[in-house]
Structure 1
Amino acid sequence: MRVRTVPTAVAAVLATGLAALSGCSSGGSGGSGGGPPAALLALPADLDAEAVAGGKQPAFEPSDVHLAVGRTFGMDVRVAPLPHGWRLVDPGDTGPLRRDADSKQSTCAPNTAGCGHTVRQSWTATAAGSTTLTWRYVDFASCKEVQNPASCRTLASKEVRVTVG
């Protein structure tokens, strides 16, 4: 029973994450020391991305994140066994940001049909500057190169502009 409620709860959190996508500031706790990120966003839910791809809602507006050097930024990405999904296609400039290790935020029992999990992609601000990170919601069946999401047909995209300083 619990296995079925976890993905539903994650989907609800991601769906409501659209309101948080307007941006975060570097206020609050969270540095590179294992605490919560100073800025945390979630990519739009699959159903929202499908609506954008189908022309049923406008494209996702870019988000702005402002960080002090040493603070972290996290993006929660839902990974599900679907024919479509979010992939980071432009990791931005490595001058102001350092990519940290991804961490699983939720998991599914093995062989659970339609179950996905959430992965937090993280970066640490290392120097003053700005860069843009870009995720695309892609059609995996259209990929010309399996390991290259930029070779897939884009259904929707989301940009996050990060300013460090």
Structure 2
Amino acid sequence: MRGGTRAGTTSGTRGRTVRTAVVVAVTALAAGLVTLTGCSSDGPGGSGGRPPAALLALPADLDAEAVAGGKQPAFEPSDVHLAVGRTVGMDVRVAPLPHGWRLVDGGDTALLRRDADSKQTTCPPNTAGCGHTVRQSWTATAAGSTTLTWRYVDLATCKEAQNPASCRTLASKEVRVTVG
């Protein structure tokens, strides 16, 4: 090619301008995506009916049974980082079993506000053995750190019906929440 340029490339000031414009456009697009996801909502049961900023699910019953039986290591804690006003949600499977996940520590109420639970799935009426999923949600209200704790408990051993801490623990799961 004559003149030292090839098709598909630019040179000189015009080339730098085009590259700068592309970088600015990509940066603006990325900022827009962060804004959109940052403004994404807090889900049913959360504030405003928007999806949670952080969404987790408790391990399956079979996994919890494996931990309880020593066939699998304990569940590692999860870490969640939220801005004030954002929501964390935990999907909990509720099934008619002698064992189940129960919230035993809802964290520091000065940092997290518990929102209403919402059903994510349901069972048809009169369906034997069918479970459903409930989303438990918290909205961050102040900066700091706290821990949410669930235990997989043997419901037949509960000394107090409404107190999961009074039941024999088979496994546990912690979610460490940092707000700020």
**Same fold (TM > 0.5):** yes
Give the Å deviation of 1:164.
0.4
1:105-145, Cα deviation, whole Å (9 max, x unpaired): 00001221110000000000000011000000000000001
Please give the alpha-carbon distance, in whole angstroms, between the structure 2 residues aligned to 1:60 and 1:38: 22
Whole-angstrom distance in 2 between the partners of 1:54 and 1:125: 36
Higher helix share: 2
Deviations 1:40-66 (A, max 9, x none): 000000000000000000000000000
Aligned to 1:34: 49
Letter in 2 for 1:135: W
In 1: Cα distance, 2:170 partner to 2:58 partner? 14
Deviation at 1:28, TM superposition (A): 6.8
Cα distance in 2 between the residues matched to 1:121 and 1:164: 18
Structure number with bigger Rg: 2
Residue 93 (structure 1) aligns with: 108
Q: Distance in 2 between matches of 1:128 and 1:138?
A: 32
Secondary structure in 1 aligned to 2:151?
strand
Given the alignment of the two structures, is residue 64 of structure 1 paired with residue 79 of structure 2, yes or no? yes
In structure 1, stretches of 5+ residues that fail to align are 1-25
Shift >4 Å, 4+ stretches? none
| Greater percentage in strand | 1
> CA 1:27–1:155 in structure 2 vs 1: closer, same or farther (change >3 Å)?
farther
- Indicate the SS of the match to 1:33: helix
Give the number of equivalent residue pairs: 140
2:134 to 85, 102, 119: 119
SS at match of 1:70: coil
SS in 2 for 1:150: helix
Q: What TM-score comes out, normalization by structure 2 length? A: 0.75
Residue 49 of structure 1 aligns to a residue whose secondary structure is helix
Q: Identity over aligned residues, as a percent?
A: 90
